[in-house]
């Protein structure tokens, strides 16, 4: 058995094609190609150096990863499609690292993104999977808001939280978004604005639900002796677990709760050592659940956790998160990863977390029936030294 390490691999780029509330003319493939170009430029690699491609997208259809590889002029030795929604980026990263360590590829581009017209999004939420199409679509549930509304009620009841508490997370993330020129929503948000917003699905209001946007992200993963740039990122730990409870629980814990012990052991650090966190924030309740599952509320005091987030003692979702920066479909899973990479590269401008050297990123997603099936997490650190 191979040692379960992450040696000899570096993340050499992490980029975002600016998200747009209203899609510009073009296709999903156009956005993914832009992300690919930007990632090449940041990494210093040329297209001919790329011998692996991983793709996550809901709207690339009828094309797949191999069609995109052809359009990008690539002859990959390793090529994969990924359909894990908000868990796709870390899932792809898991496979890419092993492919490189075992010689199946040397430099892999991972791209994700979606371009939505309103009808595209409705088609996606109505046909998300067979369970949704069979059991939820006939109810006119209108996508995942309704099930997360009920999940939020369960969570509020169990932990004694109110709308006010969930709102503090949205307000804190919007304050970060004000410092991110690429966030779709940057206007400061007050708790009163949050509480006064129109209801979407009780108790969720407009600011509890991610704005759907069009956009793309990309990451380059490379054999460490091949990297060209001075600023790279090392993986210290990565864990995935899917279908922890087969949708028979209450959704108030994700599989992060089960994998957190192995994650921190593998990384050789604890949650207390972390400088910045990206958690998958499709709804504020899920961001809070993931933070707790990862060990950021060791005493179970979620209000104390929220106040550490508001004060920025614990920098969480510094791009503004998807709640302010937008959710570009399958790119949503890569958005937080790219933000964490950008923090480690010291390229976050006004929102840069000082001396950020160790971060954790989580992914969550793919609602089968009542909540997400997938969760995963990766611990990243700034690589010392750089290209040789």
Q: Kindly tell me which of 247 and 307 has the beta carbon lying closer to another protein.
A: 247
Footprint of another protein on this chain (CB under 8 A)? Answer: 118-119, 121-122, 125, 131, 134-136, 138-143, 145-147, 149-150, 153-154, 198-203, 212, 243, 246, 248, 369-370
Contacts 24+ apart (CB under 8 A), 69-78: 71/29, 71/33, 72/33, 72/36, 72/47, 73/47, 74/47, 74/50, 75/51, 76/50, 76/51, 76/52, 76/105, 77/51, 77/52, 77/104, 77/105, 78/51, 78/52, 78/53, 78/104, 78/105, 78/108
Query: How far is Cα 31 from Cα 16, in angstroms, rounded to an integer?
Result: 10
Least distance in angstroms from the C-beta of 23 to another protein: 13
The answer to whether the CB of 56 falls within 8 A of the CB of 88 is: yes
Token duo for residue 265: 């052991």
Compare residues 151 and 238 and give the one whose CB is closer to another protein. 151
**Phi and psi at residue 112, to the nearest 5°:** -150, 150
Q: Please state the closest distance from residue 136 (CB atom) to another protein, in A.
A: 6
Closest approach of another protein to the CB of residue 188, in Å: 24
Of 236 and 257, the one with the shorter C-beta distance to another protein is 257
Q: Which is nearer to another protein, 200 or 218 (CB)?
A: 200
CB of 128 to another protein, least distance (A): 11
Which residues lie below 8 Å from residue 321, measured CB to CB, with a gap of 6+? Answer: 173, 176, 177, 278, 281, 287, 335, 336
Shortest separation between residue 142's beta carbon and another protein, angstroms:
3
Smallest gap from Cβ 137 to another protein, in A, equals: 9
Q: Which is closer to another protein, CB of 63 or CB of 208?
A: 208
Give the nearer residue to another protein in terms of CB position, either 5 or 199.
Answer: 199
Contact 233, 15 (CB under 8 A): no
């Amino acid at each position: 058995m191979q040692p379960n390490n992450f040696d000899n691999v570096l993340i050499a780029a992490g980029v975002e094609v600016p998200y747009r509330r209203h899609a510009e003319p073009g296709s999903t493939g156009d956005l993914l190609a832009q992300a690919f170009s930007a990632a090449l430029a940041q990494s210093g690699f040329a297209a001919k150096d790329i011998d692996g491609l991983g793709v996550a997208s809901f709207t690339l259809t009828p094309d797949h990863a191999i069609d995109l590889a052809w359009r990008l002029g690539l002859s990959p030795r390793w090529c994969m499609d990924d359909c894990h929604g908000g868990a796709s980026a870390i899932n792809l990263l898991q496979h890419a690292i092993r492919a490189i360590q075992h010689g199946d590829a040397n430099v892999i581009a991972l791209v994700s993104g979606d371009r939505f017209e309103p009808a595209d999004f409705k088609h996606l939420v109505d046909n998300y999977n067979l369970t949704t199409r069979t059991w939820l679509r006939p109810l006119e549930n209108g996508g995942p808001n309704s099930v997360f509304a009920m999940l939020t009620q369960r969570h509020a009841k169990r932990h004694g939280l109110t709308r006010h508490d969930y709102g503090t997370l949205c307000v804190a993330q919007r304050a970060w978004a004000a410092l991110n020129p690429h966030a779709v929503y940057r206007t400061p948000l007050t708790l009163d604005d949050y509480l006064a917003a129109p209801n979407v699905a009780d108790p969720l209001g407009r600011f509890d639900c991610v704005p759907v946007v069009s956009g793309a992200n990309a990451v380059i993963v490379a054999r460490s002796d091949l990297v060209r740039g001075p600023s790279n990122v090392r993986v210290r730990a990565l864990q995935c677990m899917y279908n922890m409870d087969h949708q028979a629980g209450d959704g108030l814990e994700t599989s992060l709760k089960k994998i957190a012990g192995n994650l921190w052991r593998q990384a050789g650090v604890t949650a207390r050592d972390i400088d910045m966190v990206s958690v998958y924030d499709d709804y504020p309740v899920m961001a809070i659940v993931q933070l707790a599952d990862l060990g950021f509320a060791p005493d179970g005091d979620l209000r104390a956790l929220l106040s550490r987030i508001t004060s920025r003692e614990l920098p969480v979702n510094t791009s503004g998160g998807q709640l302010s920066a937008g959710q570009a479909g399958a790119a949503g899973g890569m958005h937080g990863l790219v933000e964490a990479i950008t923090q480690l590269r010291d390229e976050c401008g006004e929102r840069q977390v000082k001396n950020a050297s160790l971060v954790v990123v989580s992914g969550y997603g793919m609602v089968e029936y009542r909540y997400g099936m997938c969760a995963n997490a990766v611990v990243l650190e700034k690589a010392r030294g750089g290209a040789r």
